[in-house]
Every structure is written in structure tokens, then in C-alpha cells.
Amino acid sequence: MTSMGQKEIICAANWKMNKNPQETEKYLKELVQLAPSGSQASFAIFPPALCLATAAQALKGSQIGWGAQNTHFENSGAFTGENSAEVVKGLGATHCLVGHSERRSLFGETNEDCAKKVAAIQSQGMIPVLCLGESLEQRESGETNQVILKQLREGLKSVDWSKALWLAYEPVWAIGTGKVATPDQANEAQAVLRKELVAMVGAEKAAAIPILYGGSVKPDNARELAQQPEVDGFLIGGAGLVLESLMKIYTAANNKS
Ligand code: PEP
């Protein structure tokens, strides 16, 4: 909660395949300086896997969350090129993304894979951020709720409700396109997810699961989106690559400017 008694909006940045270790160090050290004390836990940064060791050093002693954009669901084995949740945790990470739409569309990740990854991440004591959202075609044919509910139910098949979990509603048509969902569209879809969470785990626990919105969040649309009751934070792609815009989104969303 902020001093005004409103909820603190989470700002998570997914860097995708951008930034090298030097850029990671510079950005994160500056973020530690800029992020208001007491609010650092409202930030979570997802650098490329090979920059995670640098992130661990740069964020040491801070409350800023960080982690991988993807993990394998096994702890070890013959999975060339993959990284396990155990190794990510070993570096000190706090969170991991699961099922980002680019993982689903470019790398064939299924809801079943997501379910196993959620379980693996939780078993390591990290917070999975399960991403879900409909395509433009699915929205236009009225299938949004059906699609996101299926992703939710199947992706959380093996979830441990006693452990922390975040969700990120990211309509595929809004990711990296500059086409942001309207505040009503975001709130409506997130209310559908919340209602299902209530049915799955009860009102109290459902209310404690942050649901982030992702898809072309920028400093100039953050405030209005953040005012929606079901929007607990943002998962930010492009705008999160520039520290200044991440901070502008944070201040706009939390009414600090
Ligand atoms: C994302 O990659 O999760 C994302 C929301 O990207 P962008 O903010 O660039 O749309």
C-alpha cells in the first residue's frame, strides 16, 4: 500500500533478448539508486539468462525482484541449451516468467509445459509469473474468456496454493505492437481471471495474487490502466528497456508525480 492507502502498482520489466552484462550492470545499479526505498519490492526485472549472474551482483542487498524469462521444468538432465529453476534459484533469483506469448508462439510452449514450470519454480521457493492472453483472432471471434480460462486452469494444474504466484494478462495483439488494451478491456479480462481464481482457491487467497497487465504499457497510458481495480501492476517489454521510462511508468502508476 502507498502512503495514500492505495495499492502499490508492481512494475516488472521483461528485457527479452536485449542487453549485455555491462548494460545490465549499469541499468540495475542505477535502478537501485532510483527505486524509492520501501517500494523496491514493487519492481521485478527479467534480464536474459546469461546476464542473471550480473543481475545478482548488481541487485545484492536490494529488495528489487529479478529472475529468468524461462526455465526448464526438470532440475537437471540432457536438455542442451536449457536452464533449470534450480540453477536460477542458485543465483539468488526471486521470480521467473512462465508461458510468455513469445515462448508459446515461437518455441511451442504448451499449457502442460507451463504447469510443470510453475511447479518447478515454486518448489525452488521462487515466484512464477504465469503469462496468458488471447490472440487478435481469438478476441475478434469472442473467444477471449474461453482462451484465458483454459490457459489459467491448465497452467495452474500443479500449482501449490500455499506459495506465492503472480499472473500477467498479456493480450498477444498488444505485445510490442503499440496497441494497448483499453483500461476497460484489461480490467474485464483480469476480472474474469480473478473470478476463476476465487473459484479455485477462495476469495482471500485469490485477492492476494497480483494480476499484472502487459502489452504496450508506456509512461503516458500507465496511470489510466493502473486505476483499474483488477490491475495490480504491469509487465513491460519495450518501455522497460529504458530505465527512465520504467521510472516514469512507476511514478505515473503510483500517482507519485
Ligand atoms: C512483453 O514482452 O511482455 C510486453 C508486454 O512487451 P511490450 O510492453 O513491448 O508490449
pTM of the model: 0.96
Task: Tell me the Ramachandran region of residue 31: left when phi exceeds 0, alpha when psi lies from -120 to 50, beta otherwise.
Answer: alpha
Cell 503510483 belongs to 254
How much is the average pLDDT of 15-35? Answer: 98
- Render pLDDT for 96-153 as a digit per residue (tens, 0 to 9): 999 999 999 999 999 999 999 999 999 999 999 999 999 999 999 999 999 999 999 9
- What's the mean pLDDT in 7-27? 97
pLDDT at 234: 98
Q: Using the atom order of ligand 1, give the atom closest to the CA of residue 100.
A: 3
All three cell numbers of 51, joined, read 546476464
**175 CB under 6 A from ligand 1?**
yes
- Give the pLDDT score at 5: 54
Residue owning the nearest CA to atom 3 of ligand 1? 237
The answer to whether the CB of 196 falls within 8 A of the CB of 239 is no
Percentage of the chain beyond pLDDT 70 is 97
Q: How many angstroms separate the alpha carbon of residue 176 from the centre of ligand 1?
A: 5
- Beta strand segments in the chain, E: 10-14, 43-46, 65-68, 95-98, 127-132, 166-169, 211-214, 233-236
- pLDDT band of 255, cuts 50, 70, 90: confident
- Report the C-alpha gap between 50 and 71 in whole angstroms: 13
Query: To the nearest whole percent, how much of the chain has pLDDT over 90?
Result: 93
* C-beta neighbour count of 108 within 10 angstroms: 8
State CA 148 to chain mean position distance. 16
The answer, yes or no, to whether any atom of ligand 1 lies below 6 A from the CB of 235, is yes
Give pLDDT, residue 219.
97
With a 6 A CB cut-off, is 109 part of the ligand 1 pocket?
no
Number of DSSP helices (H) and strands (E) in the chain, helices first = 11, 8
> Would you say the CB of residue 101 lies under 6 angstroms from ligand 1?
no
The finding on whether 217 has its CB within 6 A of some atom of ligand 1 is yes
Of the candidates 72, 100, 102, 109, the residue annotated as catalytic is: 100
Atom of ligand 1 nearest to the CA of 240: 8
Ligand 1 centroid to Cα of residue 233, in Å, is: 13
Query: Has residue 4 got a pLDDT over 80?
Result: no
Q: Once rounded to an integer, what is the mean pLDDT over residues 164-193?
A: 95
Q: What is the mean pLDDT of the chain?
A: 96
pLDDT value at residue 37: 87
Residue 186 in contact with ligand 1 by CB distance below 6 A: no
Active site residue 95: no
